[in-house]
Structure 1
């Protein structure tokens, strides 16, 4: 039994129809991409990657192709080696602000980011953007072959202040996440958010697309563990939030 036949058996007729329509649009995307970028080896691009770009543009083939071709150009110029090494983001790693451990109930890997530890480093915004790619690639590498192909982030803003309000950096993060890693974000759980953060939030909010906004949840401190338990089993919650896992620095994963 092929994978396609198996999908048709387990899916409802409506889901099967949607899946078949997506496959037809993915085939069309391949033809358009190959025509517009003859240097692109489109046969090496897997269906799941094209599907994420397609869904990010509400199944609009032309818009998805524009988005994907823009992504390819960005990757060729910003990540010419295909990856970012730890040696290229030493200043960012030294801030000890991003960790990865555990999975949620859907099997999605969990990252914990400490906003109060983020400062403009000596490497500036460019190094911060490289650090984002370095971290997101490591996070994506832990996504299992089954399931929703996404990750979940716990954004801890304890100790956050004006000195952490790196507007340029945060706008760059939003752009990279939305434009280069579409349909990878499952949910962001924002915890320990101080009132001072809302000033920055008002600035960056308009730059976040609707789909991403709907995935951002501000968690009340009084119900933090209960809220985390809605998505994550206790054995997968970090110890600092009442769970049982120790956090592992992103560079050590």
Structure 2
């Protein structure tokens, strides 16, 4: 079966890469969610080590490959559905593993992190996205994704991956990153959803100053917002990409 462009399918062709990815995880006797198992090359190795694997595959034409693996592994379940439509009602904590489709990497990541159903994630993403996630303030790549992921998790780069290790060969290289849930976060769970909304709003219009973005979000008097920024030693024209994670948390606690 040929990969389908509409699903962003690029199948891993290198066995050594699969072994490296699985070796970088901490899934022994853990519950694993895999997004986009494709033909099951990574799925097969995950099932050897994990307690339980649930793989979400949107392309039902891959049943030929995946149902065979299900029959061979009693700890593997494949759900043929769009991961973004899944309702996480369970209190279970999962390890997220996957070669994420480039075109929906960010929505998948936000869905998993915001639902608070994870312990860790080991994911392969487009190199540019990986660079954004680990980037720091005053970097061109630093954005809302950087701040939110670094607030919720401790991030590390695991492996740089050449585009040549996929079929079909994509136009860009990839990177495997590992995200470990931060256990002692600065905000309560009740406040975190609002904090994520706050950070996204700060970066909403990058050409605008932080004062303008915050004024639009909360309907506050701009002069009051600027006064607050000054109280925190920021210039009036400061932009979101200049703030550290600690800066965002401090401002959030004062504004919201």
TM-score, normalised with respect to structure 2:
0.26
Larger Cα Rg: Structure 1 or Structure 2?
Answer: 2
Structure with the greater relative contact order (CA < 8 A, sep ≥ 6): 1 or 2?
1
Question: Structure 1 length as normaliser, TM-score?
Answer: 0.26
- Indicate the structure with greater helix content: 1
